[in-house]
Structure 1
Amino acid sequence: MNVRHWTRGVRWVHWYLRELTGEAEYDRYCAHHRRLHPGAPLPSRREYEVLRTHHRENHPQSRCC
Protein backbone atom coordinates (compact mmCIF):
# COMPACT_ATOMS: atom_id res chain seq x y z
CA MET A 1 0.00 0.00 0.00
CA ASN A 2 1.26 3.44 -0.91
CA VAL A 3 2.27 5.73 1.98
CA ARG A 4 0.03 8.46 0.58
CA HIS A 5 -3.01 6.17 0.68
CA TRP A 6 -2.18 5.09 4.21
CA THR A 7 -1.81 8.72 5.33
CA ARG A 8 -5.13 9.62 3.71
CA GLY A 9 -6.80 6.72 5.52
CA VAL A 10 -5.36 7.77 8.87
CA ARG A 11 -6.54 11.34 8.32
CA TRP A 12 -10.02 10.13 7.44
CA VAL A 13 -10.23 7.98 10.58
CA HIS A 14 -9.02 10.93 12.67
CA TRP A 15 -11.66 13.21 11.12
CA TYR A 16 -14.38 10.58 11.61
CA LEU A 17 -13.54 10.03 15.26
CA ARG A 18 -13.50 13.79 15.96
CA GLU A 19 -16.93 14.13 14.36
CA LEU A 20 -18.26 11.07 16.17
CA THR A 21 -17.10 12.24 19.60
CA GLY A 22 -18.15 15.88 19.14
CA GLU A 23 -14.61 17.22 19.46
CA ALA A 24 -14.86 19.00 16.11
CA GLU A 25 -18.06 20.75 17.23
CA TYR A 26 -16.14 22.79 19.81
CA ASP A 27 -13.57 23.78 17.17
CA ARG A 28 -16.36 24.95 14.84
CA TYR A 29 -17.92 26.90 17.71
CA CYS A 30 -14.60 28.61 18.46
CA ALA A 31 -14.16 29.64 14.81
CA HIS A 32 -17.74 30.94 14.71
CA HIS A 33 -17.27 32.83 18.00
CA ARG A 34 -14.04 34.44 16.76
CA ARG A 35 -15.77 35.62 13.57
CA LEU A 36 -18.78 37.12 15.37
CA HIS A 37 -17.02 38.40 18.50
CA PRO A 38 -13.41 39.26 17.67
CA GLY A 39 -11.41 40.02 20.79
CA ALA A 40 -13.97 38.46 23.13
CA PRO A 41 -12.67 35.66 25.34
CA LEU A 42 -13.56 32.13 24.31
CA PRO A 43 -15.26 29.86 26.81
CA SER A 44 -13.24 26.87 27.88
CA ARG A 45 -14.28 23.49 26.56
CA ARG A 46 -15.96 22.72 29.88
CA GLU A 47 -17.85 26.03 29.84
CA TYR A 48 -18.90 25.34 26.27
CA GLU A 49 -20.24 21.89 27.22
CA VAL A 50 -22.27 23.43 30.07
CA LEU A 51 -23.68 26.11 27.73
CA ARG A 52 -24.53 23.48 25.12
CA THR A 53 -26.24 21.25 27.68
CA HIS A 54 -28.32 24.15 29.04
CA HIS A 55 -29.30 25.17 25.51
CA ARG A 56 -30.40 21.63 24.62
CA GLU A 57 -32.42 21.33 27.84
CA ASN A 58 -34.16 24.67 27.25
CA HIS A 59 -34.72 24.14 23.51
CA PRO A 60 -35.75 20.51 23.04
CA GLN A 61 -36.15 19.27 19.49
CA SER A 62 -39.17 17.24 18.64
CA ARG A 63 -38.45 13.66 17.70
CA CYS A 64 -40.62 11.08 16.07
CA CYS A 65 -39.74 8.29 18.51
Structure 2
Amino acid sequence: MTAPRRALAWLRWYVTELTGENAYQRYRERAEAADPGAPLLSRREFEKRRTDRRYADPTSHHGCC
Protein backbone atom coordinates (compact mmCIF):
# COMPACT_ATOMS: atom_id res chain seq x y z
CA MET A 1 0.00 0.00 0.00
CA THR A 2 2.84 2.42 0.67
CA ALA A 3 4.56 1.89 -2.69
CA PRO A 4 1.59 3.17 -4.75
CA ARG A 5 1.18 6.07 -2.33
CA ARG A 6 4.86 6.99 -2.71
CA ALA A 7 4.59 6.68 -6.49
CA LEU A 8 1.58 9.00 -6.57
CA ALA A 9 3.32 11.50 -4.30
CA TRP A 10 6.35 11.49 -6.58
CA LEU A 11 4.16 11.90 -9.66
CA ARG A 12 2.31 14.82 -8.07
CA TRP A 13 5.61 16.50 -7.13
CA TYR A 14 6.97 15.96 -10.64
CA VAL A 15 3.91 17.43 -12.34
CA THR A 16 3.80 20.49 -10.09
CA GLU A 17 7.50 21.11 -10.67
CA LEU A 18 7.09 20.67 -14.41
CA THR A 19 4.15 23.06 -14.63
CA GLY A 20 5.65 25.65 -12.27
CA GLU A 21 2.91 25.46 -9.66
CA ASN A 22 5.50 25.28 -6.88
CA ALA A 23 7.22 28.51 -7.94
CA TYR A 24 5.14 30.73 -5.66
CA GLN A 25 5.67 28.48 -2.63
CA ARG A 26 9.43 28.48 -3.24
CA TYR A 27 9.36 32.29 -3.61
CA ARG A 28 7.58 32.65 -0.26
CA GLU A 29 10.01 30.32 1.52
CA ARG A 30 13.07 32.10 0.14
CA ALA A 31 11.68 35.59 0.77
CA GLU A 32 10.70 34.79 4.36
CA ALA A 33 14.12 33.25 5.03
CA ALA A 34 15.95 36.25 3.57
CA ASP A 35 13.93 38.95 5.38
CA PRO A 36 11.15 37.72 7.68
CA GLY A 37 9.55 41.16 8.09
CA ALA A 38 9.47 42.18 4.44
CA PRO A 39 6.13 42.30 2.62
CA LEU A 40 5.53 39.48 0.16
CA LEU A 41 3.97 39.69 -3.28
CA SER A 42 0.49 38.32 -3.67
CA ARG A 43 0.13 35.21 -5.81
CA ARG A 44 -1.42 37.29 -8.59
CA GLU A 45 1.39 39.88 -8.59
CA PHE A 46 4.02 37.14 -8.45
CA GLU A 47 2.51 35.34 -11.46
CA LYS A 48 2.18 38.62 -13.40
CA ARG A 49 5.84 39.47 -12.83
CA ARG A 50 6.87 35.92 -13.68
CA THR A 51 4.92 36.02 -16.95
CA ASP A 52 6.22 39.48 -17.84
CA ARG A 53 9.78 38.34 -17.22
CA ARG A 54 9.26 35.21 -19.33
CA TYR A 55 7.99 37.12 -22.36
CA ALA A 56 10.13 40.26 -22.03
CA ASP A 57 12.80 38.98 -24.44
CA PRO A 58 11.28 38.53 -27.91
CA THR A 59 14.29 36.53 -29.11
CA SER A 60 13.94 33.75 -26.53
CA HIS A 61 11.05 31.93 -28.35
CA HIS A 62 9.34 30.44 -25.32
CA GLY A 63 7.42 27.61 -26.87
CA CYS A 64 6.45 29.45 -30.01
CA CYS A 65 7.51 29.35 -33.66
> AA paired with 2:2?
R
Please show how residues 1-65 of structure 1 align to structure 2 within 5 Å: 3-58=1-56, 60=57
> AA paired with 2:31?
H
TM value normalised by structure 2: 0.73
Aligned equivalents of 2:35, 2:51: Cα separation in 1: 22
Equivalent pairs: percent with the same residue? 43
TM value normalised by structure 1: 0.73
Kindly report structure 1 stretches of 4+ aligned residues shifted beyond 2 Å.
Answer: 53-58, 60-63
RMSD: 2.0
The alignment of Structure 1 onto Structure 2 pairs a total of residues equal to: 61
Determine which structure has the larger helix proportion and give its number. Answer: 1
